């Protein structure tokens, strides 16, 4: 994939740097939550929210918004180093510092505006159903995930990038013909100004219902041949045909139920044991918003634990079938292989990462596996 050894070394350095930063970020985030909880900072913030916030607004929303803003500010240096400094050092960023900060600010705004009212709603459910809240909330997560998946492409993503119909209409006709031949009605295909932020290339399938769409980065369109774009499109079409977003949402369901149930079982005894030193209200249990960092610790702990399994499921039952679909639909193994190699070079990807890294971070088969699969496919089918 890398004909040039210096370029290969650079890709390996970039990959390892980003992975170490991701691990450091996890440790740091855990430490921040642990400290907020055990130093009584969380309890003090909750009491301040109670004093300051108008009673009609309640305590949860202002507490949650303040907590999110504080923790984002604490991790800002790390986010800046990983998202701006490292990206520039490896020549992958197209963004000015100002534009990076504007995006960071927007991200925080979106998280607070969406997250704080959602948490307020969750606490209302907890207060209303003190024993069965975990089941009620789990039931509500499904419609909310579907709603969010539906709205994100039209409400959230356009805050960061511009989406427009493919400029190359020949290309659009090509994939529509391809899909029509299979009896598939393709969702809209859009291009996005990914080059506003990065030199990396990407394509993805997003949205559910009337907002589902295939999105191609302009960076990819600039560098890929029409045949290469076609196999990438066919991979994304595979996600549409296989209804993969629904698969991912249903994969999320048992995890959500397990998570809420664990919180219901674990938080009250922990508060009973340590709550007093941390300034938590034992009699309120999970209903005390100051216990949110504890819930957060249990939540991140559990999701990190299941992440390798989730990644493996997605690699095997979502991403690999989309590759197979792309090859079966187009029969273009050569362009598939060159597209993968180009994607790897543009994104400074490690084609063959150590197994531990694959387990922890990759929800796609490694580039080497994808290329090897295409070679086997070509050998078997004689294409």
Residues that bind Zn ion (CB under 5 A): 319, 322
Query: Smaller CB distance to Zn ion: residue 196 or 247?
Result: 247
- Find the shortest distance in angstroms from Cβ 189 to Zn ion: 15
- Asked if residues 115 and 61 have their Cβ atoms less than 8 Å apart, the reply is no
Task: Using the minimum distance from each CB to Zn ion, give the nearer residue, 197 or 206.
Answer: 206
Minimum separation from the CB atom of position 343 to Zn ion (A): 11
CB of 239 to Zn ion, least distance (A): 6
Q: How far is the CB of 221 from Zn ion (least distance, A)?
A: 17
Cα–Cα distance, 276 to 278 (Å, whole number) = 5
Q: Which residues partner with 216 through β-bridges?
A: 191, 203
Q: In angstroms, rounded to a whole number, what is the distance separating the alpha carbons of residues 241 and 205?
A: 11
Q: Which is nearer to Zn ion, 87 or 319 (CB)?
A: 319
Gap between the Cα atoms of 274 and 277, Å rounded: 6
CA distance 14 to 349: 8
Match 């698969």 to its residue by tokens.
247
Least spacing, CB of residue 80 vs Zn ion, in Å = 29
Question: Please, which residue, 258 or 321, has the CB nearer to Zn ion?
Answer: 321
Cβ proximity of 377 and 362 under 8 Å:
no
H or E stretch at 206? strand 203-206
Which CB, 238 or 296, lies closer to Zn ion?
238
Q: In terms of CB distance, is 119 or 232 closer to Zn ion? A: 232
Q: 3-class SS at 188?
A: strand
Q: How far is the CB of 231 from Zn ion (least distance, A)?
A: 12
Helices (H), 182-243: 218-223, 226-241
């Amino acid at each position: 994939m890398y004909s040039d050894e210096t370029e290969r070394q650079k890709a390996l350095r970039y990959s390892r740097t980003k992975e170490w930063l991701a691990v450091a970020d996890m440790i740091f985030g855990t430490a921040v939550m642990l400290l907020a909880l055990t130093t009584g900072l969380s309890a003090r913030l909750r009491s301040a929210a109670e004093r300051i916030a108008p009673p009609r607004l309640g305590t949860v929303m202002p507490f949650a918004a303040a907590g999110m803003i504080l923790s984002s500010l604490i991790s800002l240096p790390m986010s800046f180093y990983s998202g701006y400094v490292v990206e520039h050092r490896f020549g992958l960023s197209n963004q000015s510092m100002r534009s990076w900060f504007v995006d960071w600010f927007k991200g925080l705004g979106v998280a607070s505006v969406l997250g704080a009212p959602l948490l307020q709603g969750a606490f209302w459910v907890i207060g209303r159903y003190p024993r069965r809240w975990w089941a009620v909330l789990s039931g509500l997560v499904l419609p909310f995930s579907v709603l969010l998946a539906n709205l994100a492409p039209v409400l959230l993503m356009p805050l960061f990038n511009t989406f427009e119909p493919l400029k190359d209409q020949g290309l659009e006709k090509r994939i529509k013909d391809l899909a029509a031949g299979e009896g598939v009605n393709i969702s809209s295909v859009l291009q996005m100004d990914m080059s506003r932020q990065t030199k990396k290339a990407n394509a993805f399938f997003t949205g559910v219902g009337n907002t589902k769409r295939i999105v191609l980065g302009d960076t990819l369109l600039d560098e890929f041949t029409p045949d290469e774009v076609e196999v990438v499109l066919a991979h994304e079409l595979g996600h549409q045909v296989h209804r993969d977003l629904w698969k991912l949402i249903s994969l999320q369901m048992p995890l959500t139920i397990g998570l809420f149930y664990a919180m219901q079982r674990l938080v009250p005894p922990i508060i009973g044991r340590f709550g007093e030193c941390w300034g938590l209200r034992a009699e309120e249990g999970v209903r005390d918003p100051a216990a949110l960092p504890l819930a957060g610790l249990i939540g991140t702990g559990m999701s990190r634990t299941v992440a390798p399994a989730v990644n493996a499921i997605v690699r095997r039952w979502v991403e690999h079938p989309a590759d197979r679909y792309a090859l079966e639909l187009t029969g273009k193994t050569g362009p598939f292989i060159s597209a993968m190699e180009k994607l790897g070079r543009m994104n400074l990807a490690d084609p063959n990462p150590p197994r531990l890294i694959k387990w922890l971070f990759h929800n796609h088969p490694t580039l080497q596996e994808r290329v090897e699969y295409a070679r086997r496919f070509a050998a078997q089918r004689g294409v």
